[in-house]
Amino acid sequence: MTFLNVEPVTFDHHRDPLGIGEHAPRLSWIIQTDIPGWLQQAYEIELSDGTSTGFVESGESVLVPWPGEPLGSRERRGVRVRVHGADGSASGWSPWSYVEAGLLDPADWQARAAAPPWDLLADSDGPAPLLRRDFTLRGPVERARLYVTAHGTYEAEINGRVVGDDVLAPGWTSYHHRLRYRTHDVTALLREGPNTIGATLADGWYRGRIGFAGGRSGIYGDRTSLIAQLEITYLDGTTDTVATDSAWRCAPGPVTAASLYDGETHDARLLPDGWSEPGFDASTWLPAEVLHHDTALLVAPTGPPVRRTEVLHPIGVLTGPNGETILDFGQNIAGRLRIRVQGPAGHTVSLRHAEVLDNGALALRPLRHAAAHDRYILRGDAEPETWEPRFTVHGFRYAQIDGWPGDLRHGDVVAVVCHTDMRPIGDFDCSDPLLSRLHDNVRWSMRGNYVDLPTDCPQRDERLGWTGDIQVFAPTASFLYDCAGPLKSWLADLSAEHRRHGTVPVFVPWIALEPVPDVLPTAAWGDAAVVVPWTLYQRTGDLELLREQYPSMSAWVDQIAGLAGESFLWDTGPQLGDWLDPTAPPERPSEAQTDPALVATAYLVHSAGLVAETATLLGRTGDAARYRELTERVRAAFDTVYATCDGKVSSDSQTAYALALRFGLLDGAERRAHAGERLVELVRANGHRIGTGFVGTPLICDALTDAGAVEDAYRLLLQTECPSWLYAVTMGATTIWERWDSMLPDGTVNPGEMTSFNHYAFGAVADWMHRTIAGLAPAAPGYRRFVIRPRPGGGLTHAGASLDTPYGRAEVSWKRTGDQVTLVVVLPANTTAAVHLPTDPDNAIEVGAGRHVFQCVPGKAAL
Residue from 22, 46, 277, 462 carrying the catalytic annotation: 462
- Cα-to-chain-centroid distance, residue 791: 29
For the bound state, the minimum distance from the C-beta of residue 82 to ligand BGC, rounded and expressed in Å, comes to 48
Alpha carbons 196 and 279: distance in angstroms, whole number:
9
Q: CB-wise, 208 or 366, nearer to ligand BGC?
A: 366
Can you list the positions of beta strands (E) in 178-324? 179-180, 182-185, 193-202, 225-234, 239-243, 249-251, 255-259, 263-267, 286-287, 289-291, 298-299, 306-312, 316-319
Report how far apart, in Å, the C-alpha atoms of 66 and of each of 91, 548, 559, 665, 801 are: 21, 17, 36, 42, 33
Alpha carbons 289 and 222: distance in angstroms, whole number:
13
For the bound state, the minimum distance from the C-beta of residue 682 to ligand BGC, rounded and expressed in Å, comes to 25
**Residue 412: HSE in the Cβ half-sphere, 13 Å Cα cutoff:** 17
For the bound state, the minimum distance from the C-beta of residue 808 to ligand BGC, rounded and expressed in Å, comes to 35
For the bound state, the minimum distance from the C-beta of residue 67 to ligand BGC, rounded and expressed in Å, comes to 43
CB 150 within 8 Å of CB 224: yes
The closest residue (CB) to ligand BGC is 456
Alpha carbons 195 and 132: distance in angstroms, whole number:
11
Radius of gyration of the chain (CA): 28
Task: Please tell me whether residue 563 adopts helix, strand or coil conformation.
Answer: helix
For the bound state, the minimum distance from the C-beta of residue 464 to ligand BGC, rounded and expressed in Å, comes to 7
The runs of H, that is alpha helices, within 431-583 are 433-448, 467-480, 484-501, 528-540, 543-564
For the bound state, the minimum distance from the C-beta of residue 722 to ligand BGC, rounded and expressed in Å, comes to 20
Task: Please tell me whether residue 182 adopts helix, strand or coil conformation.
Answer: strand
Helix (H) and strand (E) counts in the chain:
14, 44
Q: CB-wise, 232 or 487, nearer to ligand BGC?
A: 487
Specify the DSSP element, H or E, that contains 333.
Answer: strand 325-341
Q: CB-wise, 66 or 212, nearer to ligand BGC?
A: 212
Active site residue 462: yes
Active site residue 7: no
Residue from 738, 753, 811, 846 carrying the catalytic annotation: 738
Q: CB-wise, 166 or 456, nearer to ligand BGC?
A: 456
Q: CB-wise, 331 or 459, nearer to ligand BGC?
A: 459
For the residues of 234-254, what is the DSSP string, one character each?
ETTS-EEEEE-STT-EEE--S
Closest residue by Cα to residue 838 from 817, 827, 784: 817
CB 416 within 8 Å of CB 790: no
For the bound state, the minimum distance from the C-beta of residue 451 to ligand BGC, rounded and expressed in Å, comes to 15
Q: CB-wise, 166 or 581, nearer to ligand BGC?
A: 581
Q: CB-wise, 404 or 757, nearer to ligand BGC?
A: 757
DSSP letter, residue 454: B
For the bound state, the minimum distance from the C-beta of residue 286 to ligand BGC, rounded and expressed in Å, comes to 41
Q: CB-wise, 303 or 454, nearer to ligand BGC?
A: 454
- Residues interacting with ligand BGC, by CB under 6 A? 456-457, 462, 466, 468-469, 576, 579, 754, 759
Number of other CB atoms surrounding residue 112 within 10 Å: 23
Alpha carbons 213 and 536: distance in angstroms, whole number:
33
Catalytic site positions: 462, 738
